[in-house]
Amino acid sequence: MVKFRGSDFISGFHDFAIRRGGLTVYPRLVAAQHTSSFQREFIPSGVTALDTLMGGGIDRGTSTLLIGPPGSGKSTLALQYATAATERGDHAATFVFDETKSALLSRSVGIGMQVNEGLGAGEIAICQIDPVAVSPGEFAHLVRSSVERDRARVVIIDSLNGYLNAMPQNNYLTAQLHELLSYLNNHGVATFFTVAQSGIIGANMTSPVDASYLADSVVLLRYFELAGTVRKAISVLKKRTGGHEGSIRELWFDKLGIHLSEPLLQLRGVLTGGPIEVEHADEHKRRIQPGDHVT
């Protein structure tokens, strides 16, 4: 719309969809039109070491980027915050672009994670998005419904790579995403979004989109090699709303859930993929089991 005499209107371009039953217009999301008061509080993950790493927890009304190569644990960590929210009786919603609902559910069962699917309190809505069929405007509309209708307190967008595929052009993505994240922050939602990096191990990781400046917190996941095995590492790069640990910890999953080691103080170069032990070089060949404190 370019002119509407006697009334205000939301300028700019709006997505629409023509489906059986008619045409639906999805008004452009303007975050500044949505403010609500909410209490600043920590959202714990239910994994003590993860909360310690995050400086106590994630703040309500902030967004967290989980970034790392495929299989490094981004989706699982995000879902952990969602299941912890449902255990507190909150509603959570996850928008899944890259995998099927059944893959997500079977992985969760494998690591002992309780996912109660549904639209109510204490339940997680798992919304599988087809990036080819859904426009950014329609996606924003789905996110709004989950917040305003279903009262989601934790929202996951998994992944931005998938979201990117739904977008006609790149600079438009950043603006829309920024608006969406601001909207979610204004509603006191804890948002988690993931970016899959290409490159499996080593320092030469590339991202399809630089979203780190959009996020209030950034969690970095990496693979590293140690004693003939490939391990996962986790570190927090930034947290806008408070302190966090500067350490790198090992991360692993088993049927009991998510585990983090103590900070890997004796290893140097974990994020390059090929660390060396700084003090006990003679014990370099010692096989370190997941969770061993490398002292």
Contact residues: ligand ADP, CB under 6 A:
68, 70-76, 107, 110-111, 253-254
Q: Is 186 in the site for Mg ion (CB under 5 A)?
A: no
Q: Is the peptide bond before 102 cis (omega within 30 degrees of 0)?
A: no
Residues 122-181 interacting with Mg ion (rule: CB under 5 A): none
Q: Is 108 in the site for Mg ion (CB under 5 A)?
A: no
First-residue to last-residue Cα distance in the chain: 65
Tokens of 92: 């959570």
Strand 257-263 and strand 248-254: pairing?
antiparallel
Q: Is 182 in the site for Mg ion (CB under 5 A)?
A: no
- Identity of the residue, 196 or 267, whose beta carbon is nearer to Mg ion in the bound complex: 196
- Identity of the residue, 147 or 160, whose beta carbon is nearer to Mg ion in the bound complex: 160
Q: Is 197 in the site for Mg ion (CB under 5 A)?
A: no
DSSP 130: -
Least Å distance between CB 114 and ligand ADP?
Answer: 14
Dihedral sign (CA 214, 99, 225, 51): positive
Least Å distance between CB 281 and ligand ADP?
Answer: 29
Least Å distance between CB 211 and ligand ADP?
Answer: 15
SS (H, E, C) 165-190: HCCCCHHHHHHHHHHHHHHHHHCCCE
Out of 75, 86, 108, 191, the residue judged to bind Mg ion by CB under 5 A: 75
Least Å distance between CB 171 and ligand ADP?
Answer: 26
- Identity of the residue, 183 or 224, whose beta carbon is nearer to ligand ADP in the bound complex: 224
Nearest residue to ligand ADP on Cβ basis:
110
Distance (Å, whole) CA 242 – CA 138: 34
Least Å distance between CB 76 and ligand ADP?
Answer: 3
- Identity of the residue, 68 or 188, whose beta carbon is nearer to ligand ADP in the bound complex: 68
Strand 217-226 and strand 190-196: pairing?
unpaired
Distance (Å, whole) CA 158 – CA 174: 16
- Identity of the residue, 79 or 294, whose beta carbon is nearer to Mg ion in the bound complex: 79
Distance (Å, whole) CA 50 – CA 247: 12
What distance separates the 2 farthest-apart alpha carbons in the chain? 80
Q: Please choose, out of 27-35, 69-77, 100-108, 258-266, the segment that lies near Mg ion by the rule CB under 5 A.
A: 69-77
Contacts of 170 (CB under 8 A, 6+ apart): 164, 209
- Identity of the residue, 76 or 182, whose beta carbon is nearer to Mg ion in the bound complex: 76
Instruction: Summarize as ranges the residues that interact with Mg ion (CB under 5 A).
Output: 75
